[in-house]
Amino acid sequence: QQDVRPSLQTEGLSKAFGGVQAVNGATVTFHEGKVNALIGPNGSGKSTFFNIVTGMIAPDSGTVRFRGQDITRRAPHRICAAGIGRSFQLCRTFPRMTVLENLLVAVRPSGLGQLVGSSRNRRQVERARELLRRVGIDHLEGSLAQDISYGQQKLLELAGVLMGEPDTILLDEPAGGVNPALIGRIGTLVKELNAEGRTFIIVEHNMDMVMSLSDHIVVFDRGAPIAEGTPSEVQQDPRVLEAYLGV
């Protein structure tokens, strides 16, 4: 592979829950400036992997590096400050807050106090509105998050991730439970944001989306990579067919 700059890298990463080895010695490199995908059967450890690299859970062993820097076991807010943003498999929004308020509390984990007025907050409101326009739900800014569709909530969550101005974005099943029209919009946004220089690492089951968006794909099975490469390389890999289809 020519000219690969490492983004997120793990070495020998492992995590067990009781008797379940969720992540099993995973050594993986994702590529800076690219759209990377992490795919694999249900239960193969993808979300756990995201939880470890974003500091939500500690690994039993192994290391996580981001652009060459060791970030293993750092607290989530410090990993966020290093430039990594993420979304969740089951969308995380505040149901009883408005769409706009959801973005204002997304700025920082302790962001509630920032709802009180100041010029800095006015700038954040402007930025939140700009991002709502960008993801196409600005007409919903006054709606409660619980009253918008699930796909719109996913777009809201993505806008929330962008509020932190991450240059590397991890998305856990962005198209899961989302209607086809909004899946198309999410795909377009990923392409645009990547063209602006952001790196993506996307866990997704929608293979049309994965194959059309990704530059580099890592395939997990039972907590570790079994294959990686371009979409066409991965699609032809017998190990991938076996893990997915049992052939």
Is 4 or 20 the residue whose CB approaches ligand ADP more closely? 20
Query: Which tokens go with 186?
Result: 């999410």
Q: Which is nearer to Mg ion, 43 or 164 (CB)?
A: 43
CA distance 77 to 85: 10
Among 9, 14, 47, 72, binds ligand ADP (CB under 6 A): 47
In the range 21-60, which residues lie near Mg ion by CB under 5 A? 46-47
Among 37, 45, 86, 166, binds ligand ADP (CB under 6 A): 45
- Give bridge partners of residue 168 from the DSSP assignment: 84, 199
Rule CB under 6 A: choose which of 17, 122, 150, 236 binds ligand ADP.
17
The angle formed by the CA atoms of residues 105, 109 and 114, to the nearest 5 degrees, is 45
* Sheet with 61-66: strands ordered across: 20-31, 6-17, 61-66, 69-70
How far apart are alpha carbons 81 and 9 in whole angstroms?
17
Candidate list 44, 54, 168, 199; residue touching ligand ADP; CB under 6 A: 44
H or E element, residue 187: helix 180-195
Question: Which of 87, 94, 103 lies closest to 204, judged by CA?
Answer: 87
The residue (of 46 and 185) whose beta carbon lies closer to ligand ADP is 46
In the chain, the largest separation of any two C-alpha atoms, in whole Å, equals: 61
Residue nearest to Mg ion as judged by C-beta position = 47
Q: In the complex with ligand ADP, which residue's Cβ is closer, 35 or 39?
A: 39
Closest CB 46 distance from ligand ADP, rounded Å: 3
Closest approach, Cβ 10 to Mg ion, in A, equals 17
Residues that bind ligand ADP (CB under 6 A): 17, 20, 22, 40, 42-48
